[in-house]
Chains A and B, each alone.
Chain A
Amino acid sequence: MSGASANAPLGRERALDLLRQMLRIRQFEERCAKLYTELKIRGFLHLYNGQEAVAVGVMRALEAGDAVIATYREHGHALMRGVPMNALMAEMFGKRTGSSGGRGGSMHVFDVKRRFYGGNAIVGGGLPVAVGLALAEKLAKRAGLAACFFGEGAVAEGEFHESLNLATLWRLPVLFVCENNLYAMGTALARSEAVTDIRARAATYGAQAVQVDGMDVIAVEAAARAAVAAVRSGGGPWLLECRTYRLRAHSMFDAQLYRDKAEVEQWRERGPLITFTTRCKAAGLITEDDFQRLQKEADAEVDAAVAFAGSSDWEPVDELERSVYAEVQP
């Protein structure tokens, strides 16, 4: 996923690639919303609409040897990491062909072969794990880093502060990616944080931190490449504050009493797909036909994933107690 340098001019090929990747996420999430209302997906469902540019931009800067850890809003990250859409949809359905064997569901997508460590339902819970993954890279003298995605709500959790402190203290290769979508479930950032400048907060721990427009996939990728290069050079952790917005509710069962519909509409106009498509069309890089074609391809892939998930088997009940411990003991 690495390749063209961040400063190379945007060409048609890369534009189509970026658009394809964002559309895959968007169409997947839209279909999940529908499937949830039809009781095919159960439990909690947290959708990524509006934030696609962050997962796409950052993950393009990572290598296969890097470790990734995310939140319960991780479908986009999983897809970008290469988790097959079939396995991802099967996981949403709870089928045994899912990426976690159906055992985790929407909030617990894992793919360890691809170094994707979930999928975590506790806000802030993943940050200490990311620090540990980075420590392993350093002690084993490997070149990888740990990328940790979290929302701005996690900044309120003690784990954020403990993790920033330790990673900086030990100069560990962690890329902390804060997806600041302005609301932690129903609580606006200003009501939760005395200092809402998250980049500055991280800086108080001595970590390097930058802020970027999370709606601009080009800007995100550029910032990410710069941060990744710096982290890999051994200078300690970086925090990337990506300012973005969640176009859908926190989860499916949310009346959104805490924010105005007008605000949501304003952000929709500034959403990553609309802004990127408009910009690329204006630059003559892509056409409306390209957009339609890519959207149809994404839909077709989602259709196939839904069919796969629908026809996959359930895990038999007599396997209930498997996987509580490692099946192969050292």
Chain B
Amino acid sequence: MTPADATPLVTYREALREGLRDALRADPRVFLMGEDVGRYGGCYAVTKSLLGEFGEERIRDTPLSESAFVGAGIGAALGGLRPIVEIMTVNFSLLALDQIVNNAATLCHMSGGQCPVPLVIRMATGAGRQLAAQHSHSFEGWYAHIPGLRIVAPATLEDARGMLGAALRCPDPVLIFEHIGLLNMQGELTAANTPVDMDHAAVRRPGRDITLLTYGGSLYKSLEAATQLAADGVEVEVVDLRTLRPLDDALIMDSVRRTHRALIVDEGWRSGGLSAELGTRIVEQAFYELDAPIARVCTAEVPIPYPKHLEDAALPSVERIVAAARTLVSRES
């Protein structure tokens, strides 16, 4: 492979930016709005340089008014545009919960199908940077609770770039969760922008002994754990859920039927969270395939603390994932 053929390394952040550029170039109806997306370049530098390239009409800095600018996004979508609303982080999305839940998710149903809302909302999510309790939430599971919304979590570079396009093609409101721990992740990304779907999960590592279900920022911890377990002869099949509402039941159950054991890794809290939903679906659909109880590794039931050692202890870690996997295959519990 000559240097000219070599695929340059890009970061997850740059892949997100490429997806935005592609979307803005492809469709004049598409525009982006949110706090500090223009002149500041984006809280996490995702939208840096877009203002210069696309101008103020299409890259709009908003006041700190989550409720107002998410509501405006809904109105613009109903009026025929294709808005991308950036809520700086999922932590601030709570201020717009009324707009998201009572308008975006319900207008189509309440209007008997007359008012689909083709709105895309992008949010940074997750913990791990010592930002303490109010800045470290993982609410993907909460939002996945709500009928009328589509929820996706891109974990790979390809998905970071491509899921936005898929979301813009979807006629329903889509929430895209971008984990902050992934932003600096580097890898190769082909120049060709092959479309990605947002309807299916993906097996990132095939395995024989345990089905590990995860998404977003926890994917790479899960893959690391799988590598460690393989050294002991335990082969873990790591499934990247990708779409959290709807969940890809077909792929999940196919995997569990082959391995007979399920482990769920979810950065949300366990109580009433996505892990609970996945576990129950497996019991509903693959009960007689199970050879061990379902296990899950979630964030401890505390608001995320500031000091690093406590934050690390609270979040899912490679160690906890490995330990949980071992309980599924050994005599001790």
Which chain A residues have a beta carbon within 8 Å of chain B's beta carbons? Answer: 42-44, 94-95, 102-105, 107-108, 120-124, 153-154, 156-158, 184-187, 191-193, 257-258, 314-315, 317, 320-321, 324
Q: Mark contacts of B51-78 with chain A using CB atoms, 8 A cut-off: 1 yes-contact digit, 0 otherwise.
A: 0000000000101111110000000000
Least distance between A32 CB and chain B CB atoms (Å): 15
A residues within 8 A CB of B135? 43-44, 107, 121
Chain A residues lying within 8 Å of B133, measured Cβ to Cβ, are 103-104, 108
Interface string of B266-307 (1 = CB under 8 A from A): 000000000000000000000000000000000011110111
Q: Does B129 contact A (CB under 8 A)?
A: yes
Task: State the CA gap A226–B300 with chains docked (Å).
Answer: 49
State the Cβ distance, A218 to closest chain B Cβ, in Å.
32
Neighbouring B residues of A321 by C-beta, 8 Å = 300-302
Hey, which chain A residues are within 8 Å of B308, CB to CB?
42, 94
Q: Which of B127-168 contact A (CB under 8 A)?
A: 129-135
Q: How many residues of B contact A (CB 8 A)?
A: 35
Chain B residues closer than 8 Å to A108, beta-carbon distance: 132-134, 306
Give A184's nearest chain B residue, CB to CB. B64
Residue numbers in A under 8 Å from B305 (CB-CB)? 102-103, 320
Q: Smallest CB–CB gap between A235 and chain B, Å?
A: 30
Further pairs besides A44-B135, A108-B134, A186-B41: 6, Cβ < 8 Å: A103-B307, A121-B134, A156-B65, A186-B39, A187-B40, A320-B310
**Contact between A186 and B40, CB atoms less than 8 A apart:** yes
Instruction: Find chain A residues with CB under 8 A from B134 CB.
Output: 107-108, 120-122
- A156 partner, pick from B39, B63, B301, B310, beta carbons under 8 A: B63
- When chains A and B are docked, how far (Å) is the Cα of A317 from the Cα of B67? 38
Interface residues of B in 1-31 (CB under 8 A from A): none
Contact A153 B64 (CB under 8 A): yes
B230 part of interface (Cβ distance < 8 Å): no
Q: Which of A42, A122, A257, A315 contacts B92 (CB 8 A)?
A: A122
B2 CB, min distance to chain A CBs, angstroms: 36
Instruction: Establish whether residues A191 and B61, one from each chain, have CB atoms under 8 Å apart when the complex forms.
Output: yes
The 4 closest A-B pairs by CB, nearest first: A186-B40, A156-B63, A94-B307, A105-B306
Q: Which residues of B contact A102 (CB under 8 A)?
A: 305-307
> CB of B331 within 8 A of chain A?
no
In the complex, which residues of chain A have a beta carbon less than 8 angstroms from the beta carbon of B307? 94-95, 102-103, 105, 314-315
| Nearest CB on B from A155, distance (A) | 8
Does any Cβ of A come within 8 Å of B329's Cβ? no
Q: Answer whether A317 and B313 are a contact pair too, CB < 8 Å, given A102-B306, A124-B64, A156-B64.
A: yes
The distance from the CB of A84 to the nearest CB of chain B, in whole angstroms, is 19
Task: Determine the chain A residues whose CB is within 8 A of the CB of B95 once the complex forms.
Answer: 122, 157-158
**Quick one: given A122-B134, A158-B65, are A315 and B39 in contact (CB under 8 Å)?**
no
Which partner residue on chain B sits nearest A319 by CB separation?
B310
Check if B39 sits within 8 Å of A157, measured CB to CB: no
Given A43-B132, A317-B313 in contact, is the A104-B39 Cβ separation under 8 Å? Answer: no
- Chain A residues, CB < 8 A from B43: 185
* B36 pairs with A103, CB closer than 8 A: no
Decide: A157 and B40 in contact? CB cutoff 8 A: no
Query: With the chains together, A192 CA to B68 CA distance in Å?
Result: 13
- CB of B63 within 8 A of CB of A187, answer yes
Smallest Cβ-Cβ distance to B41: which chain A residue: A257
CB distance from B189 to the nearest CB of A (A): 25
Q: Which of B64, B91, B300 contacts A192, CB < 8 Å?
A: B64
- Chain A residues with CB under 8 A of B301: 321, 324
Q: In the complex, are the beta carbons of B40 and A258 less than 8 A apart?
A: yes
A17 to chain B, nearest CB (A): 33
Complex contacts, B132 vs chain A, CB 8 Å: 43, 103-105, 107-108, 121
In the assembled complex, B209 has its CB within 8 A of some CB on chain A: no
Q: Taking the complex as formed, is B172 at the interface, i.e. its CB lies under 8 A from any CB of chain A?
A: no
Instruction: Give the docked Cα–Cα distance between A104 and B133 (Å).
Output: 7
B-chain residues with CB within 8 Å of residue A124 when the two chains form the complex:
64
Interfacial chain B residues near A154, Cβ < 8 Å: 64
Whole-angstrom CA separation of A306 from B105 in the bound complex: 50
Distance from A126 Cβ to chain B, minimum over Cβ atoms (Å): 12
Interface presence of B35 (CB below 8 A): yes
Most buried by A among B39, B43, B307: B307
- Listed by A's residue number, 24 A-B pairs whose Cβ atoms lie within 8 Å are A43-B129, A94-B130, A95-B307, A102-B305, A102-B307, A104-B132, A105-B132, A107-B134, A107-B135, A108-B306, A121-B132, A121-B134, A122-B91, A123-B64, A157-B64, A185-B43, A186-B41, A187-B36, A187-B39, A187-B63, A191-B61, A257-B40, A258-B39, A315-B310
